[in-house]
């Protein structure tokens, strides 16, 4: 099996950062301790000289190598449907929030208008399938990062009310997403909270996160407190 970039990652590893990352990221993968800016720089460098077909196994045993692979998919010069196939294969092996959030946030193609409908179809197909906790978390992050706009906001809220889970990292993603909706579309977010269709935990955590945000006004925060359950 070819270990793309592993030697570079080991050279970039910082023991102090490794200890910090390990404390924040429950995973079965080995954490080397490589910072995100260094991962991005390595991904840009490797993208100039390799193609995705030389990666023989997406199930890497290293956290940073898995994130690197996700970044290589994002950087690849491929049409969006082909890129989504690679992304979907990679996503099946994620087991922690750091992989999901870092790669989804790095994936510039997710934010391009020309790709919106294709990615929306992919997301809805995934929602009709059985997914792991972290596959579902990644889909939630895609939704609130890239579809939190007037064109999709109504459907986005409908989806969020249908996702029911007992898993911490899924529910944290939902709460984070609802907070982002409140920041960008406060009235829509309030409408969602006032409908009481969310689990009490998600509802209250979303309100807590919103109250911690500097992008929501004092008066808005006071009203949100009345929607706690």
User: What is the C-alpha separation between 17 and 14, in angstroms, rounded?
Assistant: 5
- In a domain, residue 77? The reply is yes
- What is the per-residue pLDDT for 1? 52
Residues of the chain with pLDDT under 50: none
132 within a domain of the structure (yes/no): no
Q: Is residue 59 part of a domain?
A: yes
The reply to whether 22 falls in a domain is yes
180, 197 Cβ separation under 8 angstroms: no
pLDDT digits (tens, 9 = 90+) for 131-183: 999 999 999 999 999 999 999 999 999 999 999 999 999 999 999 999 999 99
Domain count for the chain, please give it: 1
Q: How far apart are CA 105 and CA 170, in angstroms?
A: 17
Residues 6+ apart with CB under 8 A from 119: 80, 84, 109, 110, 142, 146
CA–CA separation, 32 vs 80, rounded Å?
Answer: 31
Please report how many Cα atoms fall inside a 13 Å half-sphere around the Cα of residue 95, on the Cβ side: 14
What is the rounded CA–CA span in Å between residue 105 and residue 210?
Answer: 20
In a domain, 101, yes or no: yes
In a domain, 210, yes or no: no
Residue 27's domain comprises: 1-111
Domain assignment of residue 203, yes or no: no
Residue 68 is assigned to a structural domain of this protein:
yes
């Amino acid at each position: 099996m070819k270990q793309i970039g592993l030697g570079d990652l080991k050279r970039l590893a910082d023991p102090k950062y490794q200890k910090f990352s390990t404390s924040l990221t429950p995973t079965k993968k080995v954490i080397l301790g490589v910072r995100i800016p260094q991962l991005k720089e390595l991904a840009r460098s490797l993208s100039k000289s390799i193609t995705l077909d030389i990666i023989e196994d997406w199930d890497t045993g290293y956290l940073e190598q898995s994130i690197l692979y996700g970044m290589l998919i994002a950087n690849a010069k491929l049409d969006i449907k082909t890129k989504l196939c690679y992304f979907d294969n990679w996503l099946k092996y994620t087991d922690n929030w750091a992989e999901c959030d870092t790669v989804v946030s790095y994936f510039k193609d997710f934010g391009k208008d020309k790709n919106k409908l294709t990615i929306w179809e992919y997301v809805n197909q995934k929602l009709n399938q059985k997914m792991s906790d972290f596959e579902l978390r990644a889909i939630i992050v895609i939704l609130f990062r890239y579809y939190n706009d007037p064109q999709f906001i109504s459907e986005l809220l409908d989806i969020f009310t249908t996702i029911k889970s007992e898993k911490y990292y899924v529910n944290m993603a939902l709460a984070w997403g609802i907070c982002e909706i409140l920041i960008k579309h406060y009235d829509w977010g309030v409408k969602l909270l006032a409908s009481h269709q969310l689990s009490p935990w998600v509802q209250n955590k979303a309100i807590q996160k919103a109250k911690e945000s500097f992008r929501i006004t004092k008066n808005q925060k006071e009203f949100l407190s009345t929607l706690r359950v």
